[in-house]
Structure 1
């Protein structure tokens, strides 16, 4: 393929991204039914943001010269099944860091809203009722963060001013972090009974799918709050419903299983449950950060610099 036909497919119009390297052609495609150009020329593909795995994978069989798939999400679970469709050696990279601030903000917003009873006050406002209540503070609470990558760390950065009694951190393996020691996943049975708030920020993998099952939830203390800004399938929905419907636990969920959550699903009306429609990443912070990320990754690509955040390579 000649250099003149090396293309990058982007879900953001290229004219909105200043400083793109001139060595590539740029094609805008955001999941539309018709392809705007020949996919065979694509060497760098950025799938549509927030689209289904099926939509994101649709051009892949037609991209024999593809070198890089660069997502605009931290999670790549929606594309892992498409890995066999990539040319051998093509690499899948995630957008670690892109959504840290926005997702961490939402984790705190969900936590505070649930503890301070904001959903109930909103409903009371709709009825025109003045309904004071004695509610919980995040201060002096014990918080457990399950999944301590860059988003988990960003969550703890934002917890610092709230005077929590303790923050415990769990990841796949033990290590030291800026805020303190990170414990391995097998420490969960001992940590869960001590936590007032459990925040899920783990990626969805074979190991974390269904991690929050009946046993996990059963170890949480009475009245504890589960906050999920990870992936819906990390939680066993049936097991969670049993706990919240009994009133023993509460939950604040930005992600659900299934997703989108269908009308009439019992989670909508479950007591003590706050649901937001997967809005951790898409905020005003997204576009300028996504533009910077793409400009930097494409600049490195044309210079043959080492790729960042490679999570898988096609066999």
Structure 2
């Protein structure tokens, strides 16, 4: 019997998809392209929010794989309880590393070198010369050293940083040096000029950058968040920004999207981008390659890549 596969792209736009599947296009529309009960492999629409991500799951009574196109899986977790046992949830490791690491570096450089101030100066036709901080000779702390964290360090390497420290859920050793556990953060934060958050959103990382975390950062340090908005305690960050003690650059916020009138919009020392870490020209070719690889393995009965969990 032919298996149904739901894709957020038209199948004829993806070269190399294996034959033998019924491919259906669904990008989050109110109506479904087929009966969800017949779906075997579901690719979650990208950047459509949690409501769309979980909407069809309860009706997918025979689904065997749920594939996200994001590195994080927090948007689908609320719907996993509706799935039967044995469903594999896969993330998009390998798709977003290049784009997200680029933006992490861009936010860091723009904030340090005063780019927002220059843009505002250009709007007012003002020549805002002076000395500004450089990334060279700075100490950088990467919190969340998975594939994206490692890609960020790849891009930091040519910038002559004095030191790069790495933190993840548990300690390990890499070719570049040790990765510290989260428990070491109180000792590492005071030495960092730049703290880059690239950790997934979990119970352990929700509110990780709280008042205590931020208070241990050195005066004048920069916080860069390309992880998820709730990793940072927004009121605690606002207090530090308004005091002028810290600066920040956020690609993600809590709440998100950031509503008009929210105090973050006008907080001093803050650069905001609208959750565009993975939304670049690099996304589509990498996402399509991932889907071809996963579906080819699925068709052949081979183990899938990027399995984050299996429902029970």
Which category of TM-score, normalised to the shorter sequence, fits these structures?
A: over 0.9
Say if 2:250 is the partner of 1:249. Answer: no
Aligned to 2:286: 289
* TM-aligned CA deviation for residue 59 of structure 1: 1.0
Aligned to 1:264: 261
Aligned to 1:61: 58
* TM-aligned CA deviation for residue 51 of structure 1: 1.1
**Alignment counterpart, residue 90 of structure 2, candidates 93, 96, 111:** 93
**What does the per-residue CA deviation read over 1:227-256, in whole Å, with 9 as the maximum and x for residues that have no partner?**
000000000000000000000000000000
Aligned to 1:224: 221
Aligned to 2:299: 302
* TM-aligned CA deviation for residue 36 of structure 1: 1.4
Aligned to 2:24: 27
Aligned to 1:51: 48
* TM-aligned CA deviation for residue 178 of structure 1: 2.3
What RMSD over aligned residues (CA atoms) do the two structures have, in Å? 0.7
Say if 2:65 is the partner of 1:81. Answer: no
Q: Which runs of 5+ in 2 are unaligned?
A: none
The separation in 2 between residues aligned to 1:195 and 1:20, in whole angstroms, is 46
User: Paired residues, what number?
Assistant: 312
**Alignment counterpart, residue 131 of structure 2, candidates 124, 131, 134:** 134
Say if 2:106 is the partner of 1:109. Answer: yes
Q: What does 1:113-192 align with in structure 2 at a 5 Å threshold? A: 113-192=110-189
The separation in 2 between residues aligned to 1:108 and 1:89, in whole angstroms, is 39
Q: Which runs of 5+ in 1 are unaligned?
A: none
The separation in 1 between residues aligned to 2:173 and 2:191, in whole angstroms, is 21
Structure 1-normalised TM-score?
A: 0.98
The separation in 2 between residues aligned to 1:239 and 1:97, in whole angstroms, is 33
Structure 2-normalised TM-score?
A: 0.99
The DSSP-based 3-state class of the residue aligned with 1:95 is: coil
* TM-aligned CA deviation for residue 207 of structure 1: 0.5
**What does the per-residue CA deviation read over 1:61-85, in whole Å, with 9 as the maximum and x for residues that have no partner?**
2211100000000100111111111
* TM-aligned CA deviation for residue 133 of structure 1: 1.9
**Alignment counterpart, residue 69 of structure 2, candidates 68, 72, 93:** 72
* TM-aligned CA deviation for residue 308 of structure 1: 1.5
The separation in 2 between residues aligned to 1:242 and 1:77, in whole angstroms, is 27
Task: Work out whether residues 135 and 161 of structure 2, in 8 Å CA contact, stay in contact via their aligned partners in 1.
Answer: yes
Aligned to 1:9: 6
The separation in 2 between residues aligned to 1:9 and 1:133, in whole angstroms, is 55
